[in-house]
Copies of this chain bind each other. A is one copy, B any other.
Amino acid sequence: MYFASDNSGPVHPQVLDALARANDGYQMAYGADTVMNDVRDKIRGLFEAPGAAVYLVATGTAANSLALATLSEPWQTIFCSPRSHIHEDECNAPEFYSGAKLTLVPGDEKMTPQALRQSIAGEETRGVHGPQRGPVSITQVTERGTIYSLDELRALCTVAKDYNLPVHLDGARFTNAMVALGCTPAEMTWKAGVDAVSFGGTKNGLMGVEAVVFFDESKAWEFELRRKRGAHLFSKHRYLSAQMDAYLTDDLWLTSARQANANCARLAEGLRAAGAHFLHEPQANMIFASFPRGVHKALHQAGAVYHLWGATLEGEDDEEMLACRLVCDWSISNEQIDVFLALL
């Protein structure tokens, strides 16, 4: 009963197998391995973007920070949600890499086009004194488990384009969103107006690989230099390539994401039936729900692992509603979920 995060489960067996297969003989280092050519081709194909620049790094924070640094200048500000990972969970890495600051677009889990437009307009009148407008960064799946519809994505990108600003998509849970929307990678990115995407794999069964994809190839060399300067270029790069290759083979990325979402739906259904309150409507593989402290205590005692959300287990009042975050990856079994639900 481990719902703490989608980075605490095991790596998918097909990925381990791919690592073993990759472990044969000699390969050029630093991204010149032959598997990387396949990966590049596959990603370009899946995104219907034959000219895209495709790179691999090992952490989501690296993907986001390097992508944003490449899209921005150090005298700019990046527009994002106050709930975004780049603001709350990356210990100033985006600022370190880009030199830019972040402007928090008011709102909760999602940015609205109205709020975005108002934030961008608000940076308008100060000439050289204020920071200049920089990229817009959108998180899909949001950090609260909700999903922007394609219409919502397009509307946000339209606002950015009205001000001639590039758009970055933090897709740490890209595939979870995509299969939920039933759309193509292209529809969720460049067709909507996205310029660069952090295409996550780690939270969906890989050991530690994220792709960064630029639909405009002109930033490619700058990205390569930024990656090396950030110490994120792997010498034994073939083992990043092999993971991503396995991910995109036999629909592993899709089946894993579908399984994670299905696991989450099963859990959510049970919670709903048990009377839990949902802080946000779960649309991908994360649930933010509240139920009585007494139930939390019973779950913890039974060995369930997950994070309370702005609350602590300690307390007298067993009726008090406490919020928590529950995350499912592909590896959670129906049994685990059902045991958990039985304890509610």
CA distance A315 to B20 in the complex (A): 41
Give chain A's interface secondary structure class. loop
Q: Are B232 and A59 in contact (CB under 8 A)?
A: yes
Interface 9-mer from A9-17, A154-162, A252-260, A270-278: A9-17
- Tell me if A47 is interfacial: C-beta within 8 Å of chain B: no
Q: Are A229 and B92 in contact (CB under 8 A)?
A: yes
- Tell me if A285 is interfacial: C-beta within 8 Å of chain B: no
Task: Using CB atoms, name the residue of chain B closest to A26.
Answer: B2
CA distance A101 to B131 in the complex (A): 13
Bits for A225-263, please: 1 = Cβ < 8 Å to B, else 0. Answer: 111111111111001000000000000000000000000
Q: Are A130 and B16 in contact (CB under 8 A)?
A: no
Smallest distance from the beta carbon of A178 to chain B beta carbons, Å? 21
Give the residue among A73, A132, A228 with the most B Cβ atoms within 10 A: A228
- Tell me if A202 is interfacial: C-beta within 8 Å of chain B: yes
Smallest distance from the beta carbon of A257 to chain B beta carbons, Å? 17
Copy tally for this chain in the complex stands at: 4
Q: Are B7 and A29 in contact (CB under 8 A)?
A: yes
Q: Are A74 and B92 in contact (CB under 8 A)?
A: yes
Interface 9-mer from A83-91, A180-188, A292-300, A316-324: A83-91
CA distance A248 to B132 in the complex (A): 34
Smallest distance from the beta carbon of A188 to chain B beta carbons, Å? 23
Q: Are A207 and B239 in contact (CB under 8 A)?
A: yes
Q: Are A62 and B11 in contact (CB under 8 A)?
A: no
- Tell me if A27 is interfacial: C-beta within 8 Å of chain B: yes
CA distance A97 to B7 in the complex (A): 27
Residues of A76-127 contacting chain B, CB below 8 A: 76-77, 88-93, 95-97, 99-102, 104, 126
Smallest distance from the beta carbon of A184 to chain B beta carbons, Å? 27
Q: Are A126 and B89 in contact (CB under 8 A)?
A: yes
CA distance A96 to B96 in the complex (A): 9
Q: Are A88 and B129 in contact (CB under 8 A)?
A: yes
Q: Are A30 and B99 in contact (CB under 8 A)?
A: no
Smallest distance from the beta carbon of A153 to chain B beta carbons, Å? 25
Q: Are B96 and A230 in contact (CB under 8 A)?
A: yes
Q: Are A30 and B128 in contact (CB under 8 A)?
A: yes
CA distance A28 to B5 in the complex (A): 9
Task: Using CB atoms, name the residue of chain B closest to A225.
Answer: B75
- Give 27 CB contacts A-B under 8 Å: A7-B236, A8-B29, A9-B26, A11-B239, A26-B305, A30-B128, A59-B232, A60-B235, A61-B233, A66-B231, A73-B222, A74-B229, A88-B129, A88-B130, A89-B129, A89-B130, A91-B129, A91-B229, A92-B99, A92-B100, A92-B229, A95-B99, A96-B99, A96-B229, A128-B224, A208-B234, A232-B232
* B-binding residues in A (CB < 8 A): 2, 4-5, 7-11, 13, 16, 19-20, 23-30, 57-62, 65-66, 73-77, 88-93, 95-97, 99-102, 104, 126, 128-132, 202-203, 207-208, 222, 224-236, 239, 305
Known: A26-B305, A76-B92. 14 other contacts (CB 8 A): A7-B235, A10-B23, A30-B128, A61-B228, A66-B231, A75-B92, A90-B129, A90-B229, A91-B128, A91-B132, A92-B131, A101-B102, A207-B239, A230-B230
